[in-house]
Amino acid sequence: MKHRIRFRYYIAPFLFVGMLWVGMIHYMYAFIAIQDNDIALSRSAVSDFFDSNIFSHDHWIEIYGLVQKWMGKRQIDNFTIYKTDYGAMVSARETQTPEKINEEVDAVYSIISYLNEKNIPYYYLTSILPVQDMADLPYGAAEGSQINSLMTQRALIEKNINLIDLNTADTIRTIPKEELFYQTDHHWTIETCFATYQEIIKTIEDEIGWDLNGKSTTNKSNYLEHRIADSFLGSYGVKVGKYYAGKDDFVILLPDFDTDMLFQSYDTTGKLLLEKSGDFFCALLDGDILEDTEYDNKYNSFCNVGYIENHILNYNALNDLKCLFISHSYGRPLTMYLAINFFEIVNLDPQKGRFGGNYLEYIDEYEPDIVLFQVEFEGEIIGEYTGE
């Protein structure tokens, strides 16, 4: 057995060098063709060539991942990605200082304190950690999300912030840890998303007393499963290729009841980018992405690739309530399900380069009945909240 393992490590470099020579021959012919067309080869042009050339980019990622898998590697060093015992890939998070954590909490609290002044109810959703047990990682792996999460939650509790703690929610605890997140992506699965949706609606109805028709809309038996097998290669998977990572099934739960909605997405300047209407599927999902067998990032189908400011009007709503949902990309599918229970929902993404407006001014203008925050990523608050 030892000789067999050694053989793997000896032969792999030679195999990779051989593939490299094949690639170099390919590049030489490609460069000759470019020079024959009198195209100037500046530094940026060379960079663009390698980035856009399929053979030199996607193909080499697949080869690299295949070699890593063949060698039995569980840690991809140049990306700092680990593979758990149950096959999911996770990124390593640095442990933050208490000062950094408090600074992040204070930024969000500036909005929450304003909501308290305006008597607008709100809830802050804690994050679910991809690394549920350090023993699932390779021995000695450095991973700080659990410590970050503990410090963040302690800072939130000290400020008496209204929490929906997803880590202790019964709807989440029943999901096996290997099914909480995609195997190839940092986002949670639709099962985790729907369980979070159930927890949010139940909490609002129980604590605020609103009738959101949750008994019906959060019943999973009232939805049909739309599954596209082996179709999703997520943000981690694209770094190592499908041979190392495999592919996820992409699943959507579609309402098995009448829906009638209007979807609108806006850019950073407030310009309307897209408007669609129809039932849940037609209004909220990009069907072209779902049907394209060559397009791996199926997650972009949620909210029609909208990633800055999304609005959904529910013409079948049984109330006139408006919800403001401040959330990063985890919130896109959750926005779609929450839209079933409100007359209107607006989703703002606080990450850098996305929504950059003033949140307090937006709240004054929009006048939401409730505000939800989903701003943690693996135990740490991300995004910008000061506005312009």
Residue 86, both tokens: 């149950």
What's the longest Cα–Cα distance across the chain? Answer: 73
Residues 341 and 201: beta-carbon distance below 8 Å: yes
Which of 357-366's residues contact partners 24+ apart within 8 Å by CB, and which partners? 357/387, 357/388, 358/387, 358/388, 359/111, 359/326, 359/385, 359/387, 360/111, 360/114, 360/387, 361/387, 362/324, 363/111, 363/114, 363/115, 363/118, 363/120, 363/324, 366/322, 366/324
Rounded CA-CA distance 306/329 in Å is 9
What are the residue ranges spanned by the domains of the chain? 2-77, 98-381
In sequence order, which ranges of 59-189 are alpha helices (DSSP H)? Answer: 60-70, 98-118, 145-158, 170-173
Rounded CA-CA distance 74/81 in Å is 8
Q: How many residues does the chain have?
A: 388
CA atoms within 13 A on the CB side of 56: 17
Distances (CA, A) of 308 to 6, 229, 290, 316, 327: 50, 29, 21, 25, 10
Write out the chain's pLDDT in tens, 388 residues: 544 445 555 555 555 555 555 555 444 444 444 344 443 333 344 344 444 444 444 443 444 444 444 444 434 444 578 888 888 888 878 899 999 999 999 999 999 999 999 999 999 999 999 888 888 888 878 888 999 999 999 999 999 999 999 999 999 999 999 999 998 889 999 999 999 999 999 999 999 999 999 999 999 999 999 999 988 898 888 887 878 878 999 999 999 999 999 999 999 999 999 999 999 999 999 999 999 999 999 999 999 999 999 999 999 999 999 999 999 999 999 999 999 999 999 999 999 999 999 999 999 999 999 999 999 998 999 999 975 4
